[in-house]
Amino acid sequence: MGLMKKSFLFVWAVLFFAGLGREAYSQAKPARNSPFVRVWEGQMAEGVDGQSFLNFLTQVLIPTTVTANSDSLRAYIPIVLDPSAPIPRDASIDEVPFHEAALVVHRNETAYRLARAANPWYGPAHFLYGGGFDSSSFSASPEEFSGEVDIATSQDPVAYHFGNKRVDWQAGRVLASVILRRKGQTNGAYLKAVLKYMEEMSPATKTLVDAGYFRVGTDHVTIWLHLRKWVRRSSLEAILGELSATHAQSLVFGYFDQYSEPAAHGRMRVEVGRVYNVMFKRPYRGPLVDPCALRRLARSR
C-alpha cells in the first residue's frame, strides 16, 4: 500500500472515530449535565415540640442544605405543614402526613455526589437529637412519569417528574399541593386513583405548567408545579378545580395548596403552613456552617 493511500486511510479513520466520539459526547453530555433532584419528606422526631422543630429548620436544616451543597445546589423549595391544621374527615389519616418536605435540585448527579462526599456530616444533621426528624424520613429519586406509580418507601424511594427537566425552579412561581388518600381505600384503589389523576392533570395543565414533581406516600401525594411565565394563578386554579371535582370521589383535595414565597437564605424565619423558595447565589459563596457548631447544638438539646 502506497504512502499516500496509507495517509488517506489514517486521516479518514481519525475523522471517522472523532465524529463518533463527538456524537457519543453530544449524546452523553445532556445526561451528565442533567439536573439531579431529590424529593425529601420528613416526620418530626418523637418528643420534639413544634417551636424546637421550627428552630431546627431555621437554624440548621435550611442553612446547611445551601452551604453543604454550595457548588451543586440550584433550587430548594421546602414545604412546612401545620400540625394543627384540620384534616378532612374523608381522609384516611387523622394527623399531619409529614412535617417538612422539600424539592432539592442539584446541578447534576456528579456535583451532588461530590458535595455529599465533601460534607459527610450533612445527612446526619437531619436527625439531630431534640430537634430533627425521625428515622422514617428519607429522600426519593424522581424518574420520568410514564403511566405507572408506586408508593415511596425507604426500600424503594421513588418519585416522579413530568415536563421540562431544565426549568429554573428558583425563578418564577411554584404551587405545592398535598392530596390525601380516602378513608377505607385499598392500596390498589388508591394507586389507581393517583395514576388516573396525574394522567389527566399533567396534560391538562401543559400550557400553564412547564414542569412538575410528585411523590406518592402511603396516605398522601405531594406535588410541586412550576408555573410558566405570565401565567395567571386563576387560570391554573380553574383547571385544577375542575380536575379535583372530577376526582373528588377517589381522592381528598383541599388539604394543602400554597404558592411558594421567596425567602432569602440566612434571613428567613420558618413558619408552619408555608412553602418557601429559598433564594441564594449560585454557586453559593457565603459563610459556611461549622459542623462542630452542629455537634455543640446537638449536645445542648
* Residue carrying C-alpha cell 391538562: 204
pLDDT of the residue at 294: 54
Degrees (nearest 5) of the Cα angle 13, 18, 20?
A: 100
Class of 34-300 in CATH: alpha beta
Amino acid identity of residue 220, one-letter, is: H
Pairing mode of beta strands 220-227, 251-259: unpaired
Helices (H), the chain: 3-33, 50-56, 62-67, 109-118, 122-125, 187-204, 233-246, 291-300
Would you state the torsion angle of the CA atoms of residues 261, 262, 268, 272, taken in this order, to the nearest 10 degrees?
A: 10
Cell numbers at residue 197, please? 389523576
Which three-class secondary structure state does DSSP give residue 182? Answer: strand
Sequence-distant (≥ 6) Cβ neighbours of residue 277 within 8 angstroms: 75, 76, 77, 169, 170, 174, 260, 261, 262, 263
- Please compute the mean of the pLDDT values over residues 261-283 and round it to a whole number: 90
Residue 24 has pLDDT above 60, yes or no: no
Beta pairing partners, 101: 41, 79
Which three-class secondary structure state does DSSP give residue 149? Answer: coil
Tell me the C-alpha distance between 170 and 279, whole Å: 7
pLDDT of the residue at 144: 96
Q: What is the pLDDT of residues 166-180, one digit of tens each?
A: 999 999 899 999 999
Q: What is the pLDDT of residues 217-231, one digit of tens each?
A: 999 999 999 999 999
Tell me the C-alpha distance between 280 and 152, whole Å: 30
Could you tell me where the beta strands, DSSP code E, fall in 81-157? Answer: 100-106, 138-144
Q: What is the pLDDT of residues 65-97, one digit of tens each?
A: 999 999 999 999 999 999 999 999 999 999 999
Q: What residue segments make up the domains of the chain, in order of their start?
A: 34-300
Residue 17 has pLDDT above 90, yes or no: no
* Strands of the sheet with 209-216, listed across from one edge: 251-259, 174-181, 220-227, 209-216, 158-163, 138-144, 36-42, 100-106, 73-80, 274-279, 261-264
Residue 71, class by beta-carbon neighbours within 10 Å (0-12 exposed, 13-18 middle, 19+ buried)?
A: middle
Most confident among 1-5, 77-81, 133-137 (mean pLDDT): 77-81
